[in-house]
């Protein structure tokens, strides 16, 4: 009897070989995969460095980090517990990085971490896809070429937000890690059952999704559900629940007790549960139009279908499984299920952001859906014709088709990488409210790469703010003037008669939209608030404006900032009656309860009270018109006399 051919023998291993964690790559496969990984990572890093910058929103995170380093806790303003950052994990990562970096400016820490994590994310995305195709490439010659990874790095916003000081790099690294681990998990039945350590690690990573960004809970939660379905025995399921849920649940308890909210302050400020479908479609079109994103979507879909049709996995890999694994468990813990899961997750992420209305930053929030959608084809194999399953002629045709589609993907990537993006509308806030944020701030500051808070001193009003604060040692409220080189000053109330004047300078508050650049250029003793509600607990609890600019669609009147005090005088363009009505509205018991939840000294009683009432505080809303809020709260409207005029001054540089 003739012995079985090497290929047949390789396809029919014994029971022991079934569990051997061996993927016999051809040297060409292994080398081409790592060459692709290195080339794409270097191209991405180089492209991101060419567009390096730190956004105003990135500086918001760094203001919180400054407070943490100073011992004030994770707050934006001292004495006011507001969670002004969406990504908990990014905030604490920057805090730890700043501790380790010592005297290095936190802006450079953010730049280095964001860029490194972005590159790591792309690498993990490609390694996960390479691992996905490993079983079908055993003993075969093929070349691994970057495809979906090329599409992602070619989109200009991907390179813009690879730095920026925001959590985009962390989100990319997180998704790359989760994707790679899910692929490994899905192949456990074909090599060997995953151990408890790997199971705990994967569950922990999946559970951290909500700490990276809240909406990523849709992905992390889905991964945990898949693991629970596929797990054998209650001990393994208990391990998944504990390791996956311990940290996010613990932080949620902390958030409810410390901040008095169920969600991050940014979610409250932007009403993340609301919907603006028309604006979301405008945002999608704004992202698609400059780069014709439908073209790579169709090409990558064609690549995926070609690769699926030419897979050559042995029958035993698809059918055999350890004892105790039911049909549903085998179906869930499979590469096919993981691919479907990550693609559907990307579509759900896109749907969520379109429903929410998108963002005011061009392309930013749709980068996560792109990462998920391109993950299964981040790299693709072009298999040399060998006659397996198909005739050699058919294999030539299929390999040629894959190569042709890949060349089209590479051609589009080269074109898109050099696209002018939004063109003339990049730095103008049009009716859509969407701008190219990096180009906007580069133009407004005069710096091609605004990286530090000092670079933002060249933004309108910034230097004037420092001068105005220095010129008002007794304290003042700074309101933005129509003149970009000055601020309107509302003086702080003088100390009561008979009391000693304060030794330190009086209280200062700056009321401005761009709280990041202001907050990083003034001392931590200066309160910085905005009308949008990112750092202002009053503004956060107003209702979302139907036709407001996306991401900025709450707008608290400055009358409330004067009413909170301790300031005297009213600028001529404001109504003294409104200020008095705002003072009266602030006495509303429900409003006082909300403000006490973030301003009263923190202790066990306050923590427990906040925890119990966090749902009530999250749902609470005030009316931004003081008179209407008085009516809402059932309070009397105060009588007002003649308008107050204190000879309102203005201070300039």
Q: C-alpha dihedral over 540, 543, 549, 550, to 10 degrees?
A: 70
- Sheet strands (E) in 20-171: 142-146
* Tens digits of residue pLDDT in 234-250: 999 999 999 999 999 99
| 191/584 Cα distance (integer angstroms) | 70
| 296/287 Cα distance (integer angstroms) | 14
Contact 171/213 with Cβ under 8 angstroms?
yes
What pLDDT, on a 0 to 100 scale, did the predictor assign at position 181? 96
What pLDDT, on a 0 to 100 scale, did the predictor assign at position 324? 52
Q: Which residues pair with 542 in a beta bridge?
A: 622
What is the sign of the dihedral through the CA atoms of 479, 481, 487 and 489? negative
What pLDDT, on a 0 to 100 scale, did the predictor assign at position 2? 40
What pLDDT, on a 0 to 100 scale, did the predictor assign at position 306? 87
What pLDDT, on a 0 to 100 scale, did the predictor assign at position 397? 72
Q: What is the DSSP string of 87-123?
A: -HHHHHHHHHHHHHHTTS-HHHHHHHHHHHHHHHHHH
Residue 618 region by backbone torsions, left for phi larger than 0, else alpha for psi between -120 and 50, else beta: alpha
Contact 83/138 with Cβ under 8 angstroms?
no
CB atoms within 10 A of CB 420: 10
What pLDDT, on a 0 to 100 scale, did the predictor assign at position 313? 47
Report the alpha-carbon angle 79-82-86, nearest 5: 150
Helices (H), 504-600: 515-521, 537-540, 559-564, 576-585, 589-599
Nearest to 158, CA basis, from 400, 438, 433:
438
Its pTM stands at 0.91
Contact 287/362 with Cβ under 8 angstroms?
yes
Backbone angles phi, psi at 418, to 5 degrees: -105, 15
Q: What is the DSSP letter of 437?
A: H
List the structure tokens of 77.
């303003």
Report the alpha-carbon angle 414-415-418, nearest 5: 90
What pLDDT, on a 0 to 100 scale, did the predictor assign at position 190? 61
| 491/651 Cα distance (integer angstroms) | 11
List the structure tokens of 439.
């180009």
604-619 and 589-599 are packed helices; what angle lies between their axes, rounded to 10 degrees?
130
| 525/507 Cα distance (integer angstroms) | 8
Nearest to 620, CA basis, from 540, 523, 504:
540
Q: What is the DSSP letter of 473?
A: T
| 170/124 Cα distance (integer angstroms) | 12
Reduce the DSSP state of residue 610 to 3 states and report it. Answer: helix
Nearest to 218, CA basis, from 42, 363, 356, 404:
356
Contact 130/144 with Cβ under 8 angstroms?
yes
Contact 266/534 with Cβ under 8 angstroms?
yes
| 586/509 Cα distance (integer angstroms) | 18
Burial class (CB in 10 A: 0-12, 13-18, 19+), 255: buried
| 360/519 Cα distance (integer angstroms) | 21
- Write out residues in the chain with pLDDT < 70, as ranges: 1-25, 189-194, 311-326, 386-396, 498-504, 640-653
- Residues 352-390 as b/e (b if ≥16 CB within 10 A, e otherwise) read bbbebbbbbbbbbbbbbbbbbbbbbbbbbbbbebbebeb
Q: Is the peptide bond before 544 cis (omega within 30 degrees of 0)?
A: no
């Amino acid at each position: 009897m003739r012995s079985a051919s090497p290929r047949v023998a390789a396809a029919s291993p014994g029971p022991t070989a079934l569990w051997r964690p061996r993927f016999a790559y051809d040297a060409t496969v292994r080398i081409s995969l790592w060459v692709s990984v290195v080339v794409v990572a270097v191209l991405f890093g180089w492209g991101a460095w060419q567009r390096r910058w730190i956004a105003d929103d990135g500086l918001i995170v760094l203001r919180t980090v400054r407070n943490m380093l100073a011992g004030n806790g994770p707050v934006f303003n001292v004495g006011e517990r507001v969670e002004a950052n969406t990504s908990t994990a990014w905030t604490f990562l920057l805090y730890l990085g700043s501790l380790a970096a010592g005297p290095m400016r936190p802006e450079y820490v953010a730049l280095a971490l964001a860029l490194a994590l972005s590159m790591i994310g792309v690498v993990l995305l490609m390694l996960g896809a390479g691992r996905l195709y490993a079983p079908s490439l055993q003993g075969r010659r093929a070349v691994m070429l970057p495809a979906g990874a090329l599409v992602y790095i070619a989109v200009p916003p991907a390179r813009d937000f690879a730095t920026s000081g925001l959590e985009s790099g962390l989100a990319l690294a997180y998704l790359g890690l989760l994707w790679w681990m899910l692929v490994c998990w899905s192949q456990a039945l074909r090599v060997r059952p995953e151990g408890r350590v790997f199971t705990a690690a994967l569950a922990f990573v999946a559970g951290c999704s909500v700490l990276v960004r809240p909406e990523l809970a849709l992905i992390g939660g889905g991964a945990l559900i898949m693991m629970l379905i596929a797990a054998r025995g209650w001990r393994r399921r208990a391990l998944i629940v504990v390791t996956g849920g311990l940290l996010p649940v613990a932080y949620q308890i902390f958030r409810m007790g410390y901040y008095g909210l169920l969600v991050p302050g940014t979610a409250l400020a932007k009403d993340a549960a609301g919907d603006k479908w028309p604006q979301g479609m405008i945002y999608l079109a704004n992202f698609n139009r400059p780069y014709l994103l439908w073209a790579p979507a169709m090409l990558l879909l064609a690549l995926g279908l070609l690769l699926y049709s030419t897979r050559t996995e042995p029958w035993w890999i698809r059918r055999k499984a350890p004892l105790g694994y039911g049909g549903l468990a085998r179906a869930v813990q499979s590469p096919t299920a993981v691919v479907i899961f990550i693609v559907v997750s990307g579509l759900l992420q896109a749907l969520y952001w379109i429903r929410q209305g998108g963002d005011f930053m061009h392309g930013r929030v749709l980068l996560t859906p792109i990462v998920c959608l391109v993950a299964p084809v981040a790299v693709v194999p072009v298999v040399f014709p060998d006659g397996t399953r198909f005739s050699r002629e058919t294999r030539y045709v299929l390999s040629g088709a894959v190569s042709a589609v890949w060349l089209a993907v590479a051609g589009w990537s080269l074109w898109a990488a050099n696209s002018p993006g939004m063109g003339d509308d990049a730095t103008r806030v049009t009716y859509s409210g969407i701008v190219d944020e990096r180009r906007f701030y580069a133009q407004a500051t005069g710096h091609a790469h605004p990286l530090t808070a000092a670079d933002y001193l060249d933004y309108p009003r910034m230097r004037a703010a420092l001068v105005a604060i220095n010129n008002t040692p007794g304290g003042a409220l700074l309101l933005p003037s129509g003149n970009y080189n000055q601020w309107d000053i509302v003086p702080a109330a003088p100390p009561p008669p008979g009391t000693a004047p304060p030794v330190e300078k009086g209280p200062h508050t700056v009321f401005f939209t761009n709280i990041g650049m202001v907050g990083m250029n003034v001392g931590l003793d200066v309160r910085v608030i905005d009308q949008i509600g990112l750092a202002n607990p009053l503004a956060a609890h107003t209702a979302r404006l139907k036709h407001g600019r996306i991401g900025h669609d709450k707008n608290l009147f400055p009358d409330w900032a004067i009413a909170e005090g301790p300031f005297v005088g009213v600028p001529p363009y404001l109504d003294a009656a409104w200020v008095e009505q705002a003072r009266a509205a602030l006495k509303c018991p429900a409003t006082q309860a909300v403000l006490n939840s973030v301003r009263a000294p923190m202790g066990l009683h306050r923590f427990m009270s906040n925890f119990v009432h966090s749902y009530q505080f999250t749902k609470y809303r005030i009316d931004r018109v003081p008179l209407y809020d008085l009516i809402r709260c059932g309070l009397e409207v105060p009588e007002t006399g003649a308008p107050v005029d204190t000879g309102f001054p203005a201070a300039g540089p």
